[in-house]
Structure formats: C-alpha cells, structure tokens
Amino acid sequence: MVKYTRHTTLFVSDQDRALNFYEKLGLEKHDDVNGPFGRWLTVAPPGDRHEILLWPGTP
C-alpha cells in the first residue's frame, strides 16, 4: 500500500528560472546536486516531505 509519494517531476526549460519562480511562490529548495545524469533540483513547501523535481527537457 502506498502511503505517500516522494517526488513529482516537472519538465522545465531552465532550472534556475524555474527555481526562482517557485521560491517566489514560497517553496524551498531541498536538493541541488550535479550528478552523472544531470542536475537533481527539488523544491517543496516548507515542512512538507513531498518534493517537486525540476527536470530539464520535455516529457
């Protein structure tokens, strides 16, 4: 049984611009890691464990 989801992916054309937009809405940056497959950038509402992954590209 699924109790909660950890991530929801949003495809964005510019991660920095998307981060700026979501921070203005009150979300906080959680993870910002450069890895072998690209930049893992997540935001979430304060105190919430569900994160929005801002992933570059199109679905």
Pairing state between β 38-44 and 7-12: unpaired
The whole model's pTM is what? Answer: 0.86
Please check the confidence at residue 13 and state whether its pLDDT lies above 80. Answer: yes
Report DSSP letters for the chain, one per residue. ------EEEEEES-HHHHHHHHHHTT-EEEEEEEETTEEEEEEE-TT---EEEEEES--
Mean pLDDT (whole number) for 31-54: 94
Evaluate whether 9 touches 53 at the Cβ level (below 8 Å). Answer: yes
Question: Domains of the chain: which residue ranges?
Answer: 18-56
Handedness of CA 35, 12, 2, 31 (dihedral sign): positive
Q: Say whether pLDDT at 59 is over 80.
A: no
